[in-house]
Structure 1
C-alpha cells in the first residue's frame, strides 16, 4: 500500500514539465514582405505602464489591482488582435503581433483566475499549467499558448532570444518587459531582453559549488545548441565576468510574478 501511495504522489503531486518541441504549423508561414502597415499595441503598452512594477532584477505585475475598465481594455485589445489576419503583414509585424498577444493572453489568464499562487495551478487536475488549452481563435483556427510559442514563433523565426520575449507569469521566467514589442525595434528589444535575463541570478548563478542555470537552458537545449554554444551565447550578453559551464545545475521558480 505504501508503494502505491508513493507512486501516486510522484505521478500526481510533483510538477512534471516536458518542454514541447519546435514543430512548424505551416498554415502560419505566409507573410507579405511588401506590406509596411503596422498593428498598434498602444493599449497593451498603457496596461504595462500602469500595472507593471519594475525592479532592477525583476518585474512584477499588479494583477490584483487591475480595474474593471482595464480588464475590458485588455479583452478588447486581445479581441482586436484576434480579428487581424497575420498573413497580411511582414515578418517583423508578425513577430511583434505574436509575442505581444502571447504575453497579453497570459496576463489575462492570471487576472481571470486570480488569486492563484502559480500559473501551473491552472489547466485542470491532470494538466501542468494552461498552455495546451484553446485560448483564442484566429483565422478560424483555434490556438493554444503552446501553439503560438512552439508551432509559430520558434519554428518560423528560429531565434533563441524568443525565450526571453514570451513571459509565463513566473518569477523564474525572463521578465515581462516594460515596453511592448515594436516591429521597428525588434532586434534591439530582443538583445535587451537577453541582456536583462542573462545578467540576473535566475538565469546564471555562480557559487563555489558550481553554476546554476535557468531550466530554460535545459528544456530548450535544441534552441541554444551545444554546451560550448550556450556558453558563447551567455558570455555574449554578460556584463560581469564570463562563465565557464562546469558543474551545472538547473532550477526554475514557478511562483507567480505578482506585486501585492
Structure 2
C-alpha cells in the first residue's frame, strides 16, 4: 500500500474556536526547556496538518471499542507450529498501524515530515500560538517521531527494544525544536505535562504499544484537539488495558503511575476522580465495587497489524470471488476476522456510536466491512 508523499505543513491564519486549558505552574524548568513556556499573548496563526491526516487514514486501523473481554490465544499459522501475529489478550482493543505494508519511500517520508515539523518552529513562534494550537503541534510531532522510528526499526516485537544511537527510543533526543534537542518523553513530560493541567493530554500521545492510548485516525489540530482527547480518553478508560478488577482491587494502567507527579498527587483519589469523568456504565460499576488503585496493567507488544514479525506464509485476497494481486499474512487475516466477529457482536448488542467504513476487505468478503468506533 502507499499514499502520496508527505509535504511541508502550511501556515494559515484563522479564528480560534476552542477554549484553551489553564496554564500550569512551570516550576524550576531548566533554561533550555523554559523557552517552550506558552506565551501569555497568543496569536491567531494555525498549522495545517492535512497531509498527516491523510496518512493516518491510510495506515491506521481501528479495532473498535472494548467489549471488556480478553481475547483468547489464537491458533498457530496453517502448516506450522510457530505462533505468528498477536497473542495479547488486548489485541482487539485500540488501533493498529500497518507498518508491514509500508515501502521505503513512505517510511522515508515520515522522517522528512518530522523534520518539516521541526522547521515549522523556525518559521512561526510555537510558544505564541493559541494553547490548543501548541498542544496539537506537540502531540503531532511526538506521534510522527514515534511512527517514524518504529517504521525504521520494523520488524520488532516491542518499541521499548528500539534504540536511537544507542539510547532507548523514549529517551533518545533525536527531535530538535528551536535548537533544543528533545526526546519523546521530554515532549510529554517537560513541555506538555508541565504546562497543561488537564490529564486528558495523556491520551494524545501514542507510545507504539498495545497497552497505551490509541493512535488516532486523524491528525490533531486546534479545532479538534479537545474532541480527540475526549474520544481517546473514553476509549482507554473503558477498556481492559485501562481498568480492570482483581480480587476487589481496581487495577489501572501503569501509565497513570508515570503521570502521577503531574496530575495525580493524591494518587488513589485523583485517579478515581479522573476515571469517573470518562467512565461508561460498566466502568462506573467497576469503580463502585472496587477499592484501592493498583497501576499494574501493561502490554508492551507493538501496536501494529502483524505482531512485529514477518510471517513467511501468506493468503491471497479475493474480492467478489475474483483473486486480486495482493497477499497478506495468515496471522493478519486471522486478526481481521476476529475484528469482524467483534464488530458483529457490537451490532448484536445494539451498542450505538459512530459508524464509518473500513478500507479493509477480508479474504472471501464482498464490499466494505463496517467499522464501529
TM-score by length of 1: 0.84
Greater mean alpha carbon deviation, residues 65-74 or residues 193-202: 65-74
Q: Secondary structure at the match of 1:131?
A: helix
User: What are structure 1's unaligned runs of at least 5 residues?
Assistant: 1-21
1:246 aligns with 2:291: yes
The structure richer in strand per residue is 2
Distance 2:165 2:172 in 1: 13
Greater mean deviation of Cα atoms: 103-112 or 244-253: 244-253
What does the per-residue CA deviation read over 1:76-110, in whole Å, with 9 as the maximum and x for residues that have no partner?
A: 32122111221342221111000011011001010
Displacement of 1:209 in angstroms is 4.8
Matched, 1:71 2:107: yes
Is 1:82 the counterpart of 2:127? The answer is: no
Secondary structure of 1:257's aligned partner: coil
1:136 maps to which residue?
Answer: 175
Contiguous gaps of at least 5 residues in structure 2: 1-26, 65-92, 307-373
Deviations 1:208-250 (A, max 9, x none): 5533211112222231342122112111211124114525441
Q: CA RMSD in A?
A: 2.2
The match for 1:60 among 83, 96, 101 is 96
| 1:160 matched residue in structure 2 | 199
Question: Residue 70 and residue 32 in structure 1: after superposition, are their counterparts in 2 closer, same or farther (change >3 A)?
Answer: farther
Of the structure 1 ranges 216-225 and 194-203, higher mean CA displacement relative to structure 2 is found in 216-225
CA distance in 1, matches of 2:28, 2:299: 26
Paired with 1:155 and 1:207, the residues of 2 have a C-alpha distance of 33
Matches within 5 A, 1:214-233: 214-222=253-261, 223-226=263-266, 227-233=268-274
Distance 1:81 1:124 in 2: 19
How many pairs align?
238
Do the aligned residues in 2 keep the contact of 1:213 with 1:251 (CA within 8 Å)?
yes
Distance in 2 (CA, whole Å) between partners of 1:126 and 1:141 is: 20
Describe the superposition over 1:109-134 as per-residue Cα deviations: whole angstroms up to 9, x where unpaired: 1011111111111127986x312212
Counterpart of 2:186 in structure 1 is 147
Q: What residue in structure 2 maps to residue 257 of structure 1?
A: 303
CA contact (8 A) 2:38 2:131 kept: no
Tell me, yes or no, if the aligned pair for 2:160 and 2:170 is still in contact at 8 Å.
Answer: no
Partner in structure 2 of residue 113 of structure 1: 153
1:206–1:212 CA contact under 8 A, matched in 2: yes
1:193 paired residue among 214, 218, 232: 232
1:91 to 131, 138, 156: 131
Task: Name the counterpart of 2:278.
Answer: 237
SS in 1 for 2:120: coil
Q: Describe how 1:165-176 pairs up with structure 2 within 5 A.
A: 165-176=204-215
Query: In structure 1, what is the Cα distance between the partners aligned to 2:229 and 2:41?
Result: 21
TM-score (norm 2): 0.59
Q: Partner of 2:162 in structure 1? A: 122
